[in-house]
Amino acid sequence: MTSPLLEVRDLQVAYGGIRAVKGIDLHVVPGELVALIGSNGAGKTTTLKTLAGLLHPASGQIQYAGKSLKNIAAHQRAAMGIALVPEGRGVFARMTVAENLLMGAYSRRDKIEIASDLARMYELFPRLAERRDQLAGTLSGGEQQMVAMARALMSRPRLLMLDEPSMGLAPLMVQKIFETIRDIAALGMSILLVEQNARLALQVAQRGYVMESGAITLSGAASELLGSDAVQRAYLGA
């Protein structure tokens, strides 16, 4: 088996006296798209924020590229190649699309390569090329999601974490976003995808985890989870 790029063991995260994440194990190998599905309040977003360094675990281990992330701050993790596209997108509303994208490369000093990557983002997201000088706050929700994804990719991550990329978007825009996720995965990017639309998530992923009440209750190949009676009843409306 290929060594995992990300390996999480017995991760526990608490808010005050409430355990939001209750000792989960998961891993992502290089070039793999892994889905983490579950209902609202299951602990999915808390898990991603902890992996990104925005929250501190109560216990457990997070290994990235064979190294422990203990005591590694969020900005240091970003520099190591871990990028989070947060729930709600979090674009800089009063900055242009181009300025938002360049913020993703804030820690880089390779100006020629940054310019090359910016051009590549406009190829990957043609709609952003048309709106490069427009304020991000004036874009539609789907366009802002594209900005958030492109901004994360400008950091040249090895691991891209996406938190609810389809939330609040019209069906056609959801389709476009997931087509782009497929394209990014096809380039060999390692992706950890948190998504309430379980069917869409499992259709693009190689493997998946089902999270309920802070615990992983099912895991396996995405195709197996799609065919699981339990997953179909709980998440696919069967």
DSSP code, position 138:
G
Could you give the CA distance from residue 146 to residue 149 in angstroms, rounded to a whole number?
5
Could you report how far apart the first and last alpha carbons of the chain are, in Å? 34
Chain segment 108-130, per-residue pLDDT in tens:
889 999 999 999 999 999 999 99
Specify whether the CB–CB gap between 191 and 185 falls below 8 A: yes
Q: What's the CATH code of the domain at 168?
A: 3.40.50.300
Instruction: Tell whether 98 and 31 lie within a shared domain.
Output: no
- pLDDT at residue 102, rounded to an integer: 94
> 148-175 as b/e, with b when 16 or more CB fall inside 10 Å?
bbbbbbbbbbbbbbbbbbbeebeeebbe
- pLDDT at residue 220, rounded to an integer: 96
Instruction: Tell whether 1 and 77 lie within a shared domain.
Output: yes
Choose the final residue of a domain: 139, 156, 173.
Answer: 156
Burial class (CB in 10 A: 0-12, 13-18, 19+), 50: buried
Instruction: Tell whether 51 and 65 lie within a shared domain.
Output: yes
Chain segment 178-217, per-residue pLDDT in tens:
999 999 999 999 999 999 889 999 999 999 999 999 999 9
Choose the final residue of a domain: 156, 182, 211.
Answer: 156
Instruction: Tell whether 56 and 97 lie within a shared domain.
Output: no
Instruction: Tell whether 34 and 59 lie within a shared domain.
Output: yes
Specify whether the CB–CB gap between 181 and 188 falls below 8 A: no
> 105-120 as b/e, with b when 16 or more CB fall inside 10 Å?
beeeeeeeebeebbee
Q: Half-sphere exposure of 188 toward its Cβ, with a 13 Å CA cutoff? A: 3
Instruction: Tell whether 31 and 124 lie within a shared domain.
Output: no
Instruction: Tell whether 90 and 73 lie within a shared domain.
Output: no
- pLDDT at residue 16, rounded to an integer: 82
Residue ranges making up the domain that contains 116: 84-156
- pLDDT at residue 238, rounded to an integer: 55
Instruction: Tell whether 76 and 98 lie within a shared domain.
Output: no
Instruction: Tell whether 70 and 169 lie within a shared domain.
Output: yes
Choose the final residue of a domain: 107, 125, 156.
Answer: 156
State whether residue 50 is helix, strand or coil. Answer: helix
- pLDDT at residue 108, rounded to an integer: 81
Instruction: Tell whether 162 and 132 lie within a shared domain.
Output: no
Give how many domains the chain has, as a whole number: 2
Instruction: Tell whether 16 and 131 lie within a shared domain.
Output: no
Instruction: Tell whether 74 and 2 lie within a shared domain.
Output: yes
pLDDT means per 10 residues, the chain with 238 residues, are 92 91 97 94 95 96 97 94 89 95 89 94 94 95 93 95 92 92 93 93 96 95 92 76
- pLDDT at residue 1, rounded to an integer: 63
* Closest to 157 (Cα-Cα) out of 25, 30, 3: 30
